[in-house]
Chain A
Amino acid sequence: MNDTTTINAKEEALLARFEEKVQNGDAIEPRDWMPEKYRKHLIRQISQHAHSEVIGMQPEGNWVTRAPSLRAKQILLAKIQDEGGHGLYLYSACETLGISREEMIEQLQSGKAKYSNIFNYQTLNWADIGAVGWLVDGAAIVNQVSLQRTSYAPYSRAMVRICKEESFHQRQGYEIMAEMAKGTPEQSEMAQDALNRWWWPSLMMFGPHDGDSPRSADAFRWKIKRQTNDELRQKFIDKTVQQAEVIGLTIPDPDLKWNEEKQCYDYGKINWEEFNQVINGNGPCNKQRIDHHKRVHTEGAWVREAAEAYRLKTQNN
C-alpha cells in the first residue's frame, strides 16, 4: 500500500464514522472531523444567516426616529438590538468552522455572500414595521425553530438562543397590525396595504420549491436542514391565515383555500421571476443596503483602530 491509499483509507474511515454519528443524531462539535463539503455548506448557510440578521436592522432602523410613540420607539430599538445580537451569535458560530469575521464582512460587501432577499424591500410607512415583525420575523421563527435541531452544535446553540428572543419580535409586529387594522379607515387601509406588499416576499423567504432546490440532498443527509422549504412554508401559511382573520385583514391570494383532505391551505403561484430579479441585485434596495453597510463600516474604522492602539499601550500594565 502506498501513502495515498493509506490516506484515502483513513479519510474514508473518518467519513464513515462521521456519517454514522450524524445518522445517530449526535451533534458535531467544532473540533470533530467533518467532510470539507459539510464545512463549506455550513459556512455558506450560517454566514448568510448572520448577514441577514445584520442587514435586517436597516429597514427597521429606517423608522426609529419616526416611531409614533415613545413606547413604540423603545420597542423598536430593543428589537433591532436583538437582531444585531443574533448576527453576532451567528458570526461566532460560523468562525468555529475556520472563517474569520473579517472574511465574512468582506464577502458580504463584495456580494460573494448573500443575505435574505426580504431585506431588499423598503419599509414605506409605519404599518410596514408591523408587517415585518409579524410576517418576516414570523417566517424566520418557523425556519429557526426547525434549525434548533441542526447537526452542527454551535449553530444549534445559537438557534436555541435566538428562538427564545424571537417571539417578542413577532408579537410586537402583530400588535402594530392589529391596532392599525382597527384604527381609522386610513390606518386599516395602510395595514392591509402592508400585508399585500409583504405577504408574497415572506413566502419566498423559505426559498425555492423542493423540486428546484439545489444542494439540498447533502444538507438533509447531514441533518443540517431538518425540514424542506415547502414544509416550512406550509407551516407558516397555516398559522398566519388565522392570525390575519382575527384582526380582519385579508391575505392577498385569491387561490388561498382550506384543503380538508390534506388538512392545510392550498395557495396560489409564487412569482419566482420577481424572486430571481431581487436576488440578482435588481430589488428596490439592494444597492442601498450594501452601500450603507460599507459606509458605516468605513466610518467606524477609527474606533477599532483607537481600541487597538489603546490595547497595545495598556497591555503590559
Chain B
Amino acid sequence: MSKDTQFDSWEVFMQSRPGANFIHQGSVHASDKKMAIQNARDTYSRRGEGTSIWVVPSNAIAASTTEDADMLFDPANDKIFRLPTFYTMPEGAKHI
C-alpha cells in the first residue's frame, strides 16, 4: 500500500449574505481548489450559513503573533486625530 495522503490544508472564508465581509470559518483538506470549495461547503455550510466561499492554501497565509501586537498596533494609539471625535465642530453645524 502506498503512503497515506490526506491532502493539503485550505483555510475557508465565508460570506453570510451578499455584500457582507468574508469571515474565517476554519480549514478543510482537499487536493485542489475545486475540491476545497466542495469540502468547505459540506463542512461549514450545512445550514445555509453562506452565500459565497473563498478558499486559500493554509501555507499561503502570513500571520503576525500576539507578541508582535505591541510593535504593530501601538503606534495607532497616539494618532487620535484619525478619529472623528478629535475635532471640535462649530456650534449649530448639522449633518457632519
Instruction: List residues of A whose CB falls within 8 A of some B CB.
Output: 21, 26, 29, 31-33, 78, 81-82, 85, 88-89, 92-93, 95, 100-102, 105-106, 157-158, 161, 165, 297-298, 301, 304-305, 307-308, 310-311, 314-315
Contact in complex: A92, B28 (CB < 8 Å): yes
For B9, the chain A residues whose CB sits under 8 A away are 92, 95
17 further interface pairs, Cβ-Cβ under 8 Å (given A157-B26, A304-B7): A21-B66, A29-B65, A82-B46, A88-B28, A88-B43, A89-B43, A92-B9, A92-B26, A102-B6, A165-B46, A301-B1, A301-B2, A304-B31, A305-B2, A307-B32, A308-B5, A310-B31
B residues contacting the other copy or chain, number (CB 8 A): 23
Instruction: List residues of B whose CB falls within 8 A of some A CB.
Output: 1-2, 4-7, 9, 26-29, 31-32, 35, 42-43, 46-47, 63-67
For A165, the chain B residues whose CB sits under 8 A away are 46-47
Contact in complex: B26, A314 (CB < 8 Å): no
Contact in complex: A298, B1 (CB < 8 Å): yes
Contact in complex: A102, B66 (CB < 8 Å): no
For A85, the chain B residues whose CB sits under 8 A away are 42-43, 46
Contact in complex: B65, A32 (CB < 8 Å): yes
Contact in complex: B26, A158 (CB < 8 Å): yes
Which of A33, A101, A298, A310 is close to B32, meaning CB atoms less than 8 Å apart?
A: A310
Q: How far is the CB of A167 from chain B (nearest CB, A)?
A: 12
Q: How far is the CB of A28 from chain B (nearest CB, A)?
A: 8
Across chains A and B, which 6 residue pairs bring their CB atoms closest together, nearest first? A101-B6, A307-B31, A92-B27, A31-B65, A311-B31, A311-B32
For A81, the chain B residues whose CB sits under 8 A away are 42, 46
Would A32 and B4 be within 8 Å (CB), given that A85-B43, A308-B31 are in contact? no
Would A307 and B7 be within 8 Å (CB), given that A32-B65, A298-B1, A314-B32 are in contact? yes
Closest residue on chain A to residue B65 by CB atoms: A31
Would A102 and B5 be within 8 Å (CB), given that A31-B63, A32-B66, A82-B46 are in contact? yes
